[in-house]
Chain A
Amino acid sequence: MSFFSVDSLSINFGGIKAVDGVTFDVEKGEVFTIIGPNGAGKTTIFNLVSRIYQPTGGKLVFDGTDITNVAPHRITSLGIARTFQNIELFEHATLLQNLLLARHAHKRSNFLSELLFLPSVRTMETEHREAVEKAIDFLDLQQYRDSFIVNLPYGVRKVTELARALCTDPKLLLLDEPSSGLNVEETEDMAFWIQDIRNLLGITVLMVEHDMSLVSAVSDRVLALNYGRPIAVGSPAEVQAHPEVIRAYLGG
């Protein structure tokens, strides 16, 4: 039984089959990348996994649990965290508040204890803060801790999203185009971080990415999609050389 398996997953939007019978397995501790031309259904797969969309067919099994019908807000507590392609941070809150929110699934307080801010809440908040500070240290975000997200540059926001996902203590991390909009240096940092997340934190990574140099640098296996269907799966080099993939990108 693999760590995370997607079995003939499909979703239709009206007559459009955005994802059409996609099957793949992600092993524990690997970096698995999904590539494909625009509109291939990569982000849709992410939205299906994070339960924002309800699949019309197929099955999602994570760590032995069937998550096909789990409510979207329950996904985090099972150990799946994600980032968004077009940054979805809480912009009128500080970076610290953004990261603390990611601890929401780990809260042990109820409304009344929070209303009175009982000592138990205070202790819990300090513990969450310690967890958040680890992510801040890991991704070098110290100087932005108290800045509002609106005032931060794009590159920092991108890293903040990664930090927020890490703060949920995930077992599986979904990264939706981690390098989009980043310059070469920032992409390089991102590649190192993705490796560190896998090697040092032991988190399995499932990622969607266009930048092939980043994909080749960090991925163990790559899945290529076109029009919602898988066309090739294997090592980065194998997939890049696959004739179907070349046809999907270049036509012909």
Chain B
Amino acid sequence: MRFQFKTSYEQDIGLFKDKVDATWYGLLAAVVLILPLMMSDYYVGEATWVFIYAICGVSLMVLVGYTGLVSLGHAAFLGIGAYAHAYFLQQGMPWVVAMALAVAISTASGIVVGLPALRMTGIYLTIATLAFAVIIQEVFSRWESVTKGFAGMPVDKPVIFGVSFQEDASFYYLCLFFLVVVLWLTRNLLRSPTGRAWIAIRDSEIAAQSMGVNLAIYKSIAFAYSAALMGLAGALFAHKIAYLAPDIFNILLSIQFLLLVIVGGLGALHGAVFGAVFVALLPPLIAILRDSIPATFSDVARSTGIGVIGLLGDAIGNFLKKPGVEAGIFGLILVLVILLEPLGMYGRWVKIRVFFSTFPMYKRATFKRQKAYMRSERLR
């Protein structure tokens, strides 16, 4: 049993709760830093996807998880960042300038979408962002002088101040750097008045207003900041995917981002990272299972002499090869998460942590969901 011994107000606004907390994060950092030395290029590439998706996750977490504004159009901001970055690079601009411009353009478009959003709530806002995403995708395919339309746009690996990030491992570190910066900046906002104002808007607009929060300004800031992060992620995304085409930034990608934050756990930055691990690693996991299940099962069948196991393995392998299985599995997991663990992977993580920190006094009832009839529970 461990408890946190607080002796100063500083502890509540620090980045880490205490030394133990900081040690764990230090360990995590060490693992993430030495990981590329121990993995093949394929897995380094997959881990890079996790970082890029995590930045997208933080972006959407700010908007959906903290401010309570649901967006179905975030793939558009990702696309704006990616295309802007690629275009300015093509014009011969230095990498840092192209990146800054991409973030600026994405931020500006975030504000433009955010302005009408001030007058809309709930599902109407979601539909407006969806419309925005559809329009932007159309712009990507039609504005051929900039985006090259469906012919596509190749993007080279980044060269920053003469340093080339050609290697998978070096690009891994670049993305990791940006993720850490994004997490730090977002955490800073969340522990200062802006973050509290977002949370207040999410939980009760009327009370937030009565406590002095200017709803219009803070909703706009949330939209702009979220779009800025998405633009940043878009620039990295462009390098990672190496070839931009309009149909990448479709509605399914937006849904995948929403899935990411819900499965990860709404209302926690950890959730954005957990969700990114899930969304980025599920497709390769399915691919691995598709190849390995029939082989393992037939091995088992041969050694035990039961032929049915081999047939079962083939059946599973064939099923996983079918088109659309991935989307189906995503959907199934989403349904299961909402039914069994509405707080997502982060919620589960909190339970595990509480189990160990209160051991052997853990009570399951601590997290028992109960029917409540107060205002917000009815609405949520």
- 9-residue interface stretch from B188-196, B302-310, B327-335: B188-196
A105, B189: Cβ atoms closer than 8 Å: no
A125 at the interface (CB under 8 A from B): yes
B211 touches A104 (CB 8 A): yes
Contacts known (A91-B203, A122-B13); A105 close to B212, Cβ less than 8 A? yes
Note all chain B residues with C-beta closer than 8 A to A122.
10, 13
Known contacts A126-B13, A168-B212: A90-B199 contact under CB 8 Å:
yes
Chain B residues with CB under 8 A of A150: 372, 376-377
Which chain A residues lie closer than 8 Å to B200 at the CB level? 90, 93, 101, 104
User: Please, how many angstroms separate the alpha-carbon atoms of A73 and B215 in the complex?
Assistant: 8
B193 to chain A: closest residue by CB: A107
Evaluate contact between A88 and B185: CB separation under 8 angstroms. Answer: no
Given contacts A84-B207, A88-B207, A104-B197, contact A125 B212 (CB under 8 A): no
A73 touches B214 (CB 8 A): yes
Q: Determine whether B374 belongs to the interface, using a CB cutoff of 8 Å to chain A.
A: yes
Q: What CA separation (Å) do A129 and B212 show in the bound complex?
A: 17
**Chain A positions 145 through 159: 1 when the CB is less than 8 Å from some CB of chain B, otherwise 0:** 000001000100000
For A154, give the chain B residue with the smallest CB separation: B374
Q: How far is the CA of A168 from the CA of B194 in the complex (A)?
A: 16
In the bound assembly, the distance between CA atoms of A18 and B193 in angstroms comes to 36
Which residues of chain A (56-79) have a CB below 8 Å from chain B? 71-77
A81 CA to B197 CA in the complex, in Å? 17
B207 and A114 contact, CB distance less than 8 A: no
* Residue in A87, A114, A126, A164 with the greatest tally of chain B CB atoms within 10 Å: A114
A180 at the interface (CB under 8 A from B): no
Residue A117 is within 8 A (CB to CB) of chain B in the complex? yes
Asked if B376 contacts A115 (CB within 8 A), the reply is no
Nearest-neighbour CB distance to chain B for A152, whole angstroms, equals 10
Are the C-beta atoms of B199 and A97 separated by less than 8 Å? yes
Inter-chain contact A52/B212, CB cutoff 8 Å: no
Q: Is the interface of B mostly helix, strand, loop or mixed?
A: helix
B91 contacts A by Cβ under 8 Å: no
Interface contact B196-A97, CB-CB below 8 Å? yes
Check: A92 CB closer than 8 A to any chain B CB: yes
* Contact call B375/A104, Cβ cutoff below 8 A: no
What is the CB-to-nearest-CB distance from A167 to chain B, in angstroms, rounded to a whole number?
9
The listed residue (B9, B206, B213, B376) touching A104 by CB distance below 8 A is B213
Question: A89 within 8 Å of B by Cβ?
Answer: yes
Which A residues are in CB contact (< 8 Å) with B9? Answer: 126, 129-130
In the complex, how many residues of chain A place their beta carbon closer than 8 angstroms to a beta carbon of chain B?
45
Q: Bound state CA distance, A109 and B195, in angstroms?
A: 13
B221 at the interface (CB under 8 A from A): yes
With A76-B210, A77-B212, A105-B211 known to touch, is A114 a contact of B188 (CB < 8 Å)? Answer: yes
Cβ proximity bits B120-140 to A, threshold 8 Å, 1 near / 0 not: 000000000000000000000
Q: Which residues of B contact A102 (CB under 8 A)?
A: 211
Q: Is A33 an interface residue (CB 8 A)?
A: no
CB distance from B131 to the nearest CB of A (A): 28
Check if A88 sits within 8 Å of B204, measured CB to CB. Answer: yes
With A72-B209, A117-B188, A122-B13 in contact, do A89 and B203 touch (Cβ < 8 Å)?
yes
Given known pairs A73-B215, A105-B211, the reply for A117 and B375 (CB within 8 Å) is: no
Q: Does A111 contact B (CB under 8 A)?
A: yes
Contact pick for B208, options A75, A100, A101, A126, CB 8 Å: A101
Closest to A107 in B: B193
Contacts A91-B203, A93-B199, A97-B199; is A114 near B210 (CB within 8 Å)? no
Decide if A50 is an interface residue (CB 8 Å cutoff): yes
Select one of A52, A103, A109 contacting B206, CB under 8 A. Answer: A52
Q: In the complex, how many angstroms separate the beta carbon of B193 from the nearest chain A beta carbon? A: 4
Interface residues in A105-148 by Cβ distance below 8 A to B read 105, 107, 109, 111, 114-117, 121-122, 125-126, 129-130
Chain B residues within 8 Å of A, Cβ to Cβ: 9-10, 12-13, 185, 188-189, 191-194, 196-197, 199-200, 202-204, 206-215, 221, 267, 372, 374-377
**What 20 new A-B contacts, CB under 8 Å, besides A52-B210, A93-B203, A115-B189?**
A73-B213, A74-B212, A76-B211, A77-B212, A81-B210, A87-B374, A90-B199, A90-B200, A91-B376, A104-B193, A104-B196, A114-B192, A114-B194, A115-B188, A117-B191, A122-B13, A125-B13, A129-B13, A130-B9, A168-B211
Which residues of A come within 8 Å of B, CB atoms?
50, 52, 71-77, 81-82, 84, 86-93, 96-97, 100-105, 107, 109, 111, 114-117, 121-122, 125-126, 129-130, 150, 154, 164, 168
Enumerate 9 A-B pairs (CB-CB under 8 Å) in ascending A order: A73-B210, A73-B213, A76-B212, A89-B207, A90-B199, A92-B203, A104-B212, A114-B192, A154-B374
Closest 5 CB pairs of A and B: A105-B212, A76-B212, A90-B203, A88-B207, A114-B192
